[in-house]
């Protein structure tokens, strides 16, 4: 399983990275986890869009989903397009949400180009991968993900505050891709069910017993060195901060 960080900027795109988007390739399948603001441009550095097999959306905040509209345009107007509908796994009400964002009525919305499949708690097969999802702690319906392929495990937090569901999803993962949007001192009074600090991410990684922690979703106004310091203090294994274009072979 190969993970490519397409976009890792938190909440908004940054100068060096789009918002949330991760390309995962396993066997003969290529999927993206999230397709946030600005991601479709950088995604084309790594894959011909016609070779993308599915989109998995953690939630419907624009920094995680809005470039699905750009993908819709590419799939509709690129004369080289393929016609088979692409599966989009997403939170409940997602098809209507995206249709309205595009300025369409919910029906037919973006059907035809996409086949929408709402998440349900539990496990499903996506190509050769086993994908388990669970609700995490964020103000809108948000799904953390566990992707397994040939004994390797990738865990992705989506956006979340600290929660047991994330620890369970990430149990024993080879790589944990955890958000780290907040800073310990600055965001001390922020709501608990919103985002994690580097320390929260490190503590979750330690509780889950993951092999490696990659911090992501740092907003452009954060200093990555702070998240790295705080996560490293809480987790004994290797920790790094995601950058756009980085690849990890699991």
Cα distances from 157 to residues 15, 134, 135, 163, 200, in angstroms, run 23, 10, 10, 10, 12
In this complex, which beta carbon is closest to Zn ion, that of residue 61 or of residue 75?
61
Among 63, 67, 148, 200, contact with Zn ion (rule: CB under 5 A): 63
- Residues 125-184, interacting with Zn ion (CB under 5 A): 159
Contact between 67 and Zn ion per CB under 5 A: no
CB of 179 to Zn ion, least distance (A): 7
Among 42, 46, 61, 146, contact with Zn ion (rule: CB under 5 A): 61
Rounded CA gap, 1 and 153, in Å?
9
Cα distances from 104 to residues 8, 69, 76, in angstroms, run 29, 11, 15
Closest CA to 200 of 134, 246, 127, 137: 137
How would you class 101 by CB atoms within 10 Å of its CB: exposed for 0-12, middle for 13-18, buried for 19 or more? middle
In this complex, which beta carbon is closest to Zn ion, that of residue 10 or of residue 109?
10
CB of 236 to Zn ion, least distance (A): 28
CB of 72 to Zn ion, least distance (A): 21
């Amino acid at each position: 399983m190969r993970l490519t960080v397409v976009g890792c900027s938190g909440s908004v795109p940054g100068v060096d990275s789009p918002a949330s988007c991760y390309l995962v390739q396993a066997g003969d399948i290529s999927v993206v986890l999230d397709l946030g603001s600005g991601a479709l441009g950088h995604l084309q550095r790594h894959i011909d869009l016609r070779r993308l097999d599915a989109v998995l959306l953690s939630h419907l905040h624009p920094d995680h989903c809005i470039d699905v509209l750009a993908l819709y345009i590419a799939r509709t107007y690129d004369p080289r397009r393929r016609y088979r509908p692409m599966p989009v796994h997403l939170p409940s009400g997602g098809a209507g949400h995206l249709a309205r964002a595009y300025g369409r009525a919910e029906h037919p919305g973006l059907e035809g180009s996409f086949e929408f499949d709402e998440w349900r708690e539990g496990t499903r097969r996506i190509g050769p991968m086993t994908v388990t999802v669970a609700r995490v702690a964020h103000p809108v319906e948000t799904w953390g993900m566990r992707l397994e392929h040939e004994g390797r495990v990738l865990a992705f937090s989506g956006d979340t505050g600290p929660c047991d569901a994330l620890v369970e999803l990430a149990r024993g993962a080879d790589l944990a891709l955890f958000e780290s949007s907040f800073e310990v001192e600055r965001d001390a009074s922020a709501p608990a069910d919103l985002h994690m600090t580097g320390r929260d991410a490190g503590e979750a990684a330690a509780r889950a017993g993951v092999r490696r922690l990659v911090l992501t979703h740092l907003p452009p106004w954060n200093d990555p060195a702070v998240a790295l310091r705080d996560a490293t203090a809480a987790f004994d294994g290797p920790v790094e901060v995601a950058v756009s274009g980085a690849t990890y072979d699991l």
